[in-house]
Each structure stands twice: as C-alpha cells, then as structure tokens.
Amino acid sequence: MKLGFDNDKYISMQSKKILERISRFGDKLYLEFGGKLFDDYHASRVVPGFKPDTKINMLSALKDSAEIILAIHAGDIERNKIRSDIDIAYDREVLRLIDAFRKRELLVSGVVITRYRVGQPAVDSFAERLERLGVRVYRHYPIEGYPKNPKFIVSEEGFGRNDFIETTRPLVVVTAPGPGSGKLAVCLSQIYQEFRRGVRAGYAKFETFPVWNLPLTHPVNLAYEAATIDLDDMNMIDPFHLEAYGVTTVNYNRDVESFPVLNTIFSHIYGESPYKSPTDMGVNMIGNCITDDEVCCNAAKQEIIRRYYQAACAFKRGRIEKEQVYKAEFIMSRAGITVNDRPVVAAALKRAEDTGAPAMAIELPDGSMTTGKTGSLFGPAAGVLLNALKTLAGISRNIDLIAPIVLTPIRELKVKHFGSENPLLHSDEVLYALSICAATNPTAALAMEQLPKLRGCEAHSSVMLSVADRAVYRKLGINLTSEPNLNGNKLYL
C-alpha cells in the first residue's frame, strides 16, 4: 500500500499543540476526543500511513496526569446501536474500552449516560451492571432547547441538573464508543459545575475529521460524511471563523450549532470566551501531515464506496432507514465515483455469475485478483482466503492445503454435536484446520506465513457474509464489502 501520511510528524505536531492548549488553562482541561481513541481504522484507511492506535499511544504518554470519562447516549443503549467497523454494540464497546484503558494503566473515572430519561429498562440494566463491576455511573439529562437556548442550558435547571463527575487530575479526556454520544455536552456541563465549585476549567477538542484545512469537498472530508450518515452530519464552512479571521475553514454542523453554547458558558465563567470559532476549539494537525494528496484522495474514494455498501447491507438487515442509503449514494456522486471504481466488485460478481453460486474476490497487494466460490465443504469466504494464500505463496491452485480427511470431522462436529444447520465451514474454522496441518505439512506452513500480506487488501462478496466470516476478515485487516444480497433464504447473518 502506498503511504500518503507522515505518522511520526503527526504525533510530534499534535502532541505539541495539545500541550500548548493545556498550558492555556490553569487548574483543569476537559479534552474531548473526536473519533476513536483505539482502533481508528477509518483514519488509517482514509489517510494511509496513519496508525490505528496513534491517539491512544499519545495519551498513554500523559497517563500520570490524565483520567478518562466515557460517555454513552441512552438511546444508543436502548436501540442496541452497533459500532459498524467491528460489529459490537455500543454498551459492550464501553466495557471493551475500559479494559483497554486499564491495560495501559489509564485511570477511568466513570461512565456518564447522556440524555437519560426515566423509564428506560435497558439503560437502567446496563447502569446496574457497570456498578456491580465497580464502575462509577453518572446520568446527564435531556435539556429542552439544546443547543439553541444557552440561557436555560447554563442554569440550575440545565447543566445544573446533571450529575457532577468527580475527577482528580488536571487533564480529563472525554471519549465515547462512537459519534453522537454527547461528549461535548459532558465537557460543557462539567465546566459549568466546576465553576460553581470554584475551579477554573477549560475545554479543547482533539479533532480528527473533518480536516479543517482541506477543501469542503475533498474526498477525505466526504469520507467523514459517509462514515456518519446515521448522525446526519454535514460538513460546512465555519461561519464564525470566516467572520473572525477572514479565513475559510471546514467544520461540521453539530460543532457549529453548539458553538454559541460554548461561548455563553465561557463568557459566564470568565467574562469572555477564549475561542472565536468552532475551528479554534479543535486541535487537528492531520492536514499538515499529508505527504501525498493523490494517495489520500484515492484511498478516501474507496472508503466512500465501502461506506455505501455498508449502508446498503445495514438497510437490508433492518438497522438503518433507506434515506441513509440514498445519502451514501449522494456522497458517492459528489466524489465523482460509482461502485465500478472498486475493481474487486466486478471480479466477485463475474465469478458468481460464472458459477451460479455465491462468490468472492480479493485484490492482492500487487493489484491482481483472486476469486473463490462456494464449495462442497466451505463457503466463498474460506475458499477465496485459501486461494489468496496459495497465490501469495506461489502454490498451485490444484494442491489441497487441507486434506478432506481433516475437514470432514470438523464438519461432522459442527453439524452433529454443535447443532449447526450450515454444513459449510466458515473461514475461521478453515484457518484453524490449516494451522493444524501446518505443523506437519511444509506447504500448509508456507501458506500460513502469507497471512500478514493480506492486511490492507480489498475484498468483495456477492452475498452478505456471516458474523463469523466478517470477524475473521476484520481481524486479518482485509477491507470487506458485500452486495446487499441474502445468501439463499437465510435471514440470520
């Protein structure tokens, strides 16, 4: 994969800017983390060279002076919202994040449930579970007119009604399992309540996307819109920044709408606001670290297509509304691309047409295509993986890496003892069998050695895959898309 981003330069510039922002405020800084702290695969796909755990590594360097608050929107718990890139519900993602933070010796102060309303059984159950696990839980409530009624918001009936989150360290990072969780409101509520307790607290935002110093319709910024279609986010020119400085910058609607609230809060506390625009609030050096704009443009366009397929499949599964699919299509048109600009799509569909059965294709690092079809023992996801490993290792397609005598007992175990109605083996089951064969078969061992080369490859399926197959492709780092087609009559995927 060609690189278009200098990750080391980014770490240096972003860290310096964060330290500068901390120094602007005396007692305490609430730092909202936009995007994902862990596993930011969107950023790594859109700006090749960005490492998925860059942000958490930067935070770990400040662990002695930092603590973390996790925010989750009550509505996301109620509707079991899924983090689409790793197929995990937001409430479970909170638990995963807490474990990940603790593993890095980062202090987690607690979890705040935002926009909490009485009478949400799933939310109350989740809160009780957290408390049984020893995690402190706080509740923030809906505020009428937010964010367009600043006078009411900054009052005892507004932010003053929320639970105050006890913190002890100068840097408080507010993060979440996904966008739309209410991180900004948590920060503002805390700043207001800190002031009531005599503490001077500041606010800043660790920004990722949209990139303020790239054009509004730059593919990297359009890819952000495609990734947040469920939130109705829209990139826009920051009118406050343009008015204050005469400089055109890119922000997005929620931050622009919320900016008057922030101004009101700071004016209430300090007499004036330290920021003149939403862009001022952010710390975002990504645009300064792009080394090859063409590489990033092409990568972002591929991400936009992937997001379209993701939306189409989510609609088929009943997770989103049709309007969001239309929006994904519209973003593709704004970027001047179609699904035909994803080469692996045509290869998968042709193989499916030729065989009359579900099929898949993987684009290998050299740009060549390898395909796989539904076989007698395993499905196309497993078949194309084995074919890709053979191609990368220079092994003839006619050679069986796994003898049928090994696969048959696994199939019988799956059907007879585990009660599976699907006799075809998934890709994880086939890879386990391959790893066992590799212990005694040098050819199988050679194939196993190729697995790291699949990271960053593109794949497409003519049908929607099972959860198990999607998980394997995600763990291998393969960028998977699927046609929004059911595999036969199967409804459970």
Q: What is the pLDDT of residues 206-221, one digit of tens each?
A: 989 999 999 999 999 9
pLDDT band at 412 (very low <50, low <70, confident <90, very high): confident
Q: Give 370's contacts (C-beta < 8 A, 6+ positions apart).
A: 361, 362, 364, 384, 387, 388, 391
CATH of the domain at 465: 3.40.140.40
Are 383 and 285 in a shared domain?
no
Q: Kindly state the percentage of the chain with pLDDT values over 70.
A: 99
Do 360 and 238 lie in a common domain? no
pLDDT higher than threshold 70 for residue 492: no
The pLDDT value recorded for residue 270 is: 77
**What tens digit of pLDDT does each residue of 219-238 get?**
999 999 999 998 888 999 99
The answer to whether residue 302 is domain-embedded is no
Last residue of a domain, one of 289, 324, 358: 289
Least trusted range by pLDDT, from 2-11, 117-126, 370-379: 370-379
The dihedral sign for the CA sequence 59, 63, 69, 70: positive
Quick check: is 313 in a domain? Answer: no
Task: Tell me, yes or no, whether 347 and 285 share the same domain.
Answer: no
* Beta strand spans in 115-269 (E): 137-139, 171-175, 201-206, 235-237, 250-252
pLDDT for position 104: 93
277 and 377 assigned to the same domain = no
pLDDT digits (tens, 9 = 90+) for 128-141: 999 999 999 999 99
Same domain, 274 and 376: no
Confidence of residue 21 (pLDDT cuts 50, 70, 90): confident
Print the domain residue range for 61: 7-289
State how many domains the chain has: 2
pLDDT above 90 for 298: yes
0.85 exceeded by pTM: yes
**Rg, the chain, Cα only:** 24
Can you tell me the mean pLDDT for 183-191?
Answer: 93
Residue 333: Cβ within 10 Å count: 9
Domain assignment present for residue 86? The answer is: yes
Domain boundary among 225, 259, 289: 289
DSSP count for the chain of H helices, then E strands: 20, 15
Phi, psi of 128 (to 5 degrees): -65, -40
Query: What value does the mean pLDDT of the chain take?
Result: 92
Angle at 43 between CA 392 and CA 302, to 5 degrees: 60
